[in-house]
């Protein structure tokens, strides 16, 4: 089984909601979710950099952005087809462009949901 660790922003209302959904879908417990805002969280890179983008470690490889989402999706059976699609370089590039667009609006969405500004 693939070992997967996902770091998330526990102070972000969007992230909290998404991670709650992913936890429910991860019935096999294949993903270790780490709140990077926790003072005792072990972060593989600078905490601010970790919170600025979505990160995951799949079988020892640190992934960021759309690649990290795809790794998480591959670990959840119902989302696995989407995660496998991202193994295609063109599909992954398109997903990364969409993710970069999301990062532009993320601070506004956080404010609307009552969270703090993105780092």
Assigned domain for 29 exists: yes
Domain count, the chain: 1
What integer pLDDT is reported at residue 118 of this predicted model? 41
3-state secondary structure of 26: coil
Assigned domain for 55 exists: yes
Assigned domain for 103 exists: yes
What integer pLDDT is reported at residue 51 of this predicted model? 92
The predicted-structure confidence for 6-54, as pLDDT tens digits, reads as follows 999 999 888 999 999 999 999 999 999 999 999 999 999 999 999 999 9
Whether pLDDT at 1 is above 70: no
Residues 6+ apart with CB under 8 A from 76: 22, 25, 26, 30, 31, 83
The predicted-structure confidence for 67-118, as pLDDT tens digits, reads as follows 999 999 999 999 999 999 999 999 999 999 999 999 999 888 888 877 554 4
> From edge to edge, which strands make up the β-sheet containing 55-58?
31-35, 4-8, 55-58, 61-64
3-state secondary structure of 102: helix
Domain that holds residue 19: 4-112
Assigned domain for 33 exists: yes
Assigned domain for 67 exists: yes
Assigned domain for 64 exists: yes
What integer pLDDT is reported at residue 10 of this predicted model? 93
Assigned domain for 89 exists: yes
Q: What is the pTM of this model?
A: 0.88
Provide Rg for the chain, Cα atoms.
Answer: 14
- Please state whether beta strands 31-35 and 4-8 pair in parallel, antiparallel, or not at all (unpaired): parallel
């Amino acid at each position: 089984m693939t070992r997967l660790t996902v770091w998330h922003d526990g102070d972000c209302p969007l992230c909290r909601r998404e991670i709650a959904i992913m936890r429910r879908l991860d019935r096999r417990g294949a993903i270790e979710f780490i709140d990077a805002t926790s003072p005792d969280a072990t972060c593989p890179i600078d905490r601010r950099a970790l919170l600025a983008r979505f990160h995951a470690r799949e079988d020892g490889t640190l992934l960021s952005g759309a690649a990290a989402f795809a790794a998480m999706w591959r670990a959840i059976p119902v989302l696995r087809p989407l995660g496998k699609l991202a193994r295609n370089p063109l599909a992954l590039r398109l997903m990364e462009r969409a993710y970069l667009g999301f990062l532009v609006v993320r601070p506004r969405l956080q404010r609307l949901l009552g969270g703090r500004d993105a780092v």
